[in-house]
């Protein structure tokens, strides 16, 4: 059974209906997002499996919206997630065939209304910020966000390398050995990733169960592509790779602080290329903060990777933090 959104009278969007999704709507919603990503970003990132994980973790009755046209086709999508009190991530998008009809404006209004409700859980001294991404191939979308009070916050790069020849053999720093994931190491990997990414822009720690849902409890998880660099009994760095429809991906590459600037990141990167090529992949890709404070972009360029796509993160302050 589906439920129409009570606050959306038919007159608000003539010819359309807004309702809450069910898991039966995964296919149409994933197809809509796929089309939007190709047009606005130039590549696809979110798979149907990703969307399934997202919906299992989400409150579908309060934080997700789908717009359908009179023929029953998905025309728009709105999503909101509270990453932490005061930090909210949204994703509002409209099918290219249905733009210019007020769907985006209506969905942003629904998302922000719900965001303000969730902001009540944030400490009074904390600002409440909602974020949204925009593809560089969609200048009208960025203008739309700016017109609704969003400001540019960060740029991200998709970087790629062709694996049409044997990659360089990794040169491991002294005392480092490479192993792969086994079930008894999952907690240790989680803790190493959280520590390595504390320096990342806008980082919010993941709950362990949520991290497992995103990273391990999914159909495409391959533990043989999770590369763990050990120094004694400690994980010094990781490269967590996977394979999607469009090729090999380095989903997470991180080195803990005590082992940085010693060549471990480059060795893990080369080991990732070797592992993905060994699985028959002809290309490896990753996402990176274009202003990464750890120098990640320089590392990837040194390894032969190049920027192929870009996207922007926008933010809007819904509530300023009160003075202590």
Instruction: Please name the residues in contact with 159: beta carbons below 8 A apart, sequence gap of 6 or more.
Output: 285, 286, 287, 288, 297, 300, 301, 305, 306, 307, 308
d(CA 128, CA 135): 24
Domain ranges (residues) in the chain? 10-155+313-319, 165-281
Q: What pLDDT shows up at residue 1? A: 45
Which is it for the CA torsion 298, 286, 315, 256, positive or negative?
A: negative
- Tens-place pLDDT, residues 210-241: 999 999 998 889 999 999 999 999 999 999 99
Q: Identical fold at 10-155+313-319 and 165-281?
A: yes
Q: What pLDDT shows up at residue 5? A: 55
Number of H helices, E strands in the chain: 9, 12
The CATH number corresponding to 165-281 among 3.30.1490.100, 3.40.50.10740, 3.30.300.30, 3.40.630.30 equals 3.40.630.30
- Tens-place pLDDT, residues 294-316: 889 999 999 999 999 999 999 99
Fold of the CATH domain 10-155+313-319: Aminopeptidase (3.40.630)
Please tell me the pTM assigned to this model.
0.90
Q: pLDDT category, 4, cuts 50, 70, 90?
A: low
């Amino acid at each position: 059974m589906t439920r129409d959104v009570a606050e959306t009278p038919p007159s608000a969007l003539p010819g359309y209906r807004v309702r809450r999704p069910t898991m039966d709507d995964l296919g149409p919603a994933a197809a809509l997002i796929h089309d939007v990503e190709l047009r606005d970003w130039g590549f696809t990132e979110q798979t149907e499996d990703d969307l399934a994980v997202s919906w299992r973790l989400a409150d579908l009755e309060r934080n997700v919206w789908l717009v359908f046209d009179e023929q029953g086709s998905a025309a728009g999508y709105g999503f909101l997630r509270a990453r932490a009190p005061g930090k909210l991530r949204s994703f509002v998008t409209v099918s290219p065939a249905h733009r210019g009809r007020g769907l985006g404006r209506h969905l942003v209004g629904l998302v922000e209304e719900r965001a303000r409700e969730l902001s009540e859980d944030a400490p009074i001294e904390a600002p409440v910020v909602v974020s949204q991404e925009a593809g560089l191939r969609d200048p009208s979308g960025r203008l739309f966000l700016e017109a609704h009070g969003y400001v540019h916050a960060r740029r991200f790069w998709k970087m790629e390398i062709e694996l049409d020849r044997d990659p360089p053999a990794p040169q491991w720093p002294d005392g480092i050995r490479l192993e792969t994931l086994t079930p008894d190491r999952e907690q240790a990997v989680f803790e190493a990733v959280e520590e390595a990414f504390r320096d990342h822009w806008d980082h919010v720690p993941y709950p362990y169960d949520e991290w497992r849902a995103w990273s391990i409890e999914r159909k495409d998880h391959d533990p043989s592509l999770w590369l763990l660099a050990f120094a004694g009994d400690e994980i010094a760095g990781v490269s967590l790779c996977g394979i999607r429809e469009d090729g090999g991906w380095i989903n997470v590459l991180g080195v803990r602080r005590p082992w940085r600037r010693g060549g471990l990141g480059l060795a893990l990167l080369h080991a990732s290329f070797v592992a993905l090529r060994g699985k028959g992949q002809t290309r490896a890709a990753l996402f990176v903060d274009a202003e990464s404070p750890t120098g990640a972009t320089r590392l990837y360029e040194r390894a032969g990777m190049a920027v192929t796509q870009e996207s922007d993160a926008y933010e809007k302050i819904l509530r300023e933090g009160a003075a202590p």
